[in-house]
Structures are given as structure tokens and as C-alpha cells.
Amino acid sequence: MRAVRSVINAAGQLKSAYPDMNEDQLLLRALRDVNVPKFLADDLPLFENIIKDLFPGVDRPEQVYGPLVPMINETCIKENL
């Protein structure tokens, strides 16, 4: 039940932050945000297939990271990473 509550809480926070987002996409993002960090790399394809079965035809919502990704790229170039 804790896992279900975590997803519901995450969905509520996303709904507050993005009130116009499609609810299917909102729940899909909440499920990913809560569960993906807990999985090993080998488990991710299985999880993605389960998600596709639960939400057929629902496009994966895009994450908006703002300036984070360009700053990471810039820092990697500076540090020769």
C-alpha cells in the first residue's frame, strides 16, 4: 500500500504543478517517477512493457529540465568527460 500511496502523492503533486496535463500522462509520469529509481537496469524493459500494456496509445510525457541538461553538457565538455 505504501507504493500505491507514493504514486498517488506524486500524481497529486504533478497535477498541482501541471493542471492542464492529460491525466493519463500525469499518472504515467507519476508511476515512472516513483518506480524507475528503484529498479535495476535489467528490470527497466520489463517495467516499460508493463506500462505500455496498462496505457496503450498514451504518449510518454516529456520531462522539462530547464537549463539543467545544457549545464551538464557544458560542464562535461569543460571537464573532458
At 59, the pLDDT band (50, 70, 90 cuts) reads confident
**Angle at which helices 23-35 and 2-17 pack, to 10 degrees?**
130
How does pLDDT run across 23-52, given as a tens digit for each residue?
Answer: 888 999 999 989 999 999 999 999 999 999
d(CA 64, CA 66) in angstroms, rounded, equals 6
Q: Radius of gyration of the chain from Cα atoms? A: 15
Residues 6 or more apart whose CB falls under 8 angstroms from that of 33 comprise 10, 14
Average pLDDT, the chain: 89
At CA 34, angle to CA 30 and CA 40, rounded to 5? 130
Residue 40 parent element (H or E): none
